[in-house]
Amino acid sequence: MFNKTFSFADAMGCCNCFGFSRRSNRQSQRSKPAINNSLSQELLLDDDIEDEEDLYSDEVTNNTSGDESTEQARPKRSEDILNLRVENGMICRQFPAKETHKVVRTEDENGNKMINEYIRECKIGSGSYGKVALYRSSVDGKNYAIKAFHKSHLLKLRVAPSETAMTDVLREVQIMKMLEHPNIVNLIEVIDDPESDHFYMVLEYVEGKWVCEGSGPTCALGEDTARRYLRDIVSGLTYLHAHNIVHGDIKPDNLLITRLGTVKIGDFSVSQAFEDDNDELRRSPGTPVFTAPECILGLTYHGKAADTWAVGVTLYCMILGEYPFLGDTLQDTYDRIVNNPIVLPNDLNPQLRNLIEGLLFKDPRLRFTLGDVAEDSWVIGDDGPIPEYLCWCKRKSLGMDDNDDINMLA
């Protein structure tokens, strides 16, 4: 049993190989960039590709502002940082994800498509760059979610002056290979055949998700459910930040719910890794309605604070069943995010009001941190402090063996 002075932040922080430390909040504000006023409201809510025709079109897009020299000004790219961690064995998972370099596409006796051992059941949806389908393993009988990509398409789809969608997908794979946490979707296997255009990520299958569609109070969750979900989100996101990973697209669509009601954070397609606690970013490719004000106002922003803002928007959605700053156009939405005060019902629980207002503070220097949220009275409620999770790399640094419990009591 560990001493109770072992704090939540200390438990979530990992061994020094990940360079975790507290950061001082800084903000660099610049003139507001020009915004395309003709984009539809649908794009404010979801930046995913919806069908196969869109997925494999030859359209080239650019989701960044500034020139290539600006993009390259960052000391180290996420890919370089992640490669260095791999070279030095800095991986926070007990068992590595399986890597397969041969793709065999066949059919079973019932005519169902197969990828190696996996039998296709049905389509689940579409991710940022690829389709997602439910498969069943013919080996262990378990269900898995498989994200399928075409490498040729990813290489043609430009997302930054010096990056293609392939860069994003490979970075997503690298990040997920590093991490393991009960509130993060687990990567099981990567299938990448150098002789095939197909590329697959085999992920644990999570049964459902809560999605806010802005349909009013009928979409809202009760306080108890929202509190339980928020605690899971904070636990998983704190783990990511402790490993200097910024998610970049926290929203209900990316929060999967297990049958037991556990939230797992998914979709790391726009996530970034940092060498230390300097989490300054220039590119903001997340979903507009969840975008923090500083991402709109400045050329640079801090990723962890932007993630925390998105948690605040998500909590607002959970409680009220609608988005706090949704306008009719992209320009209108951005104007509301930057300028409009947060509006909350008069009869809202005062503790909950304080938490939402703290998370949606427009100045990131004054915004609640995840540590503040973990210690908040509404979050603690009758359940007590969020359980401290002792991750694999922290356990190794403390010399703990495989039989030691990784979940510490507060």
283-323 pLDDT tens trace: 777 889 999 999 999 879 999 999 999 999 999 999 999 99
A 10 A CB-CB count for 390 gives 20
Among 273, 269, 118, 262, smallest CA distance to 188 is for 118
Q: Where are the domains of the chain?
A: 8-31+207-397, 50-204
CB 79 within 8 A of CB 171: yes
| Greatest mean pLDDT range, 202-211, 303-312, 387-396 | 303-312
Query: Are 8-31+207-397 and 50-204 in the same CATH fold?
Result: no
Q: Catalytic site residues?
A: 249
Find out whether 147 is annotated in a ligand binding site. yes
Architecture of domain 50-204: 2-Layer Sandwich (3.30)
- Could you tell me the CA-to-CA distances from 57 to 60, 124, 243 in Å, in that order? 9, 21, 36
**Alpha-carbon radius of gyration of the chain:** 21
Residue 241: which residues within 8 A CB-CB, separation 6 or more? 12, 304, 307, 370
The confidence band for 59, taking pLDDT boundaries of 50, 70 and 90, is very low
Tell me how many degrees the CA angle 195-201-206 measures, rounded to the nearest 5: 160
pLDDT for 279 equals 86
Give tens-digit pLDDT for 111-148.
Answer: 999 999 999 999 988 766 889 999 999 999 999 999 99
Among 150, 143, 19, smallest CA distance to 81 is for 19
Collapsing DSSP to helix, strand or coil, 167 comes out as: helix
With 60 as the cut, is the pLDDT of residue 195 above it? yes
With 60 as the cut, is the pLDDT of residue 213 above it? no
Give tens-digit pLDDT for 349-384.
Answer: 999 999 999 999 999 999 999 999 999 999 999 999
Mean pLDDT for the stretch of residues 7-32: 36
CB 309 within 8 A of CB 360: yes
pLDDT for 47 equals 52
pLDDT, averaged across the chain? 80
Task: Give residue for tokens 């660099």.
Answer: 28
pLDDT for 128 equals 65
With 50 as the cut, is the pLDDT of residue 151 above it? yes
Which superfamily does CATH assign the domain made up of 8-31+207-397 to?
Transferase(Phosphotransferase) domain 1 (1.10.510.10)
With 90 as the cut, is the pLDDT of residue 55 above it? no
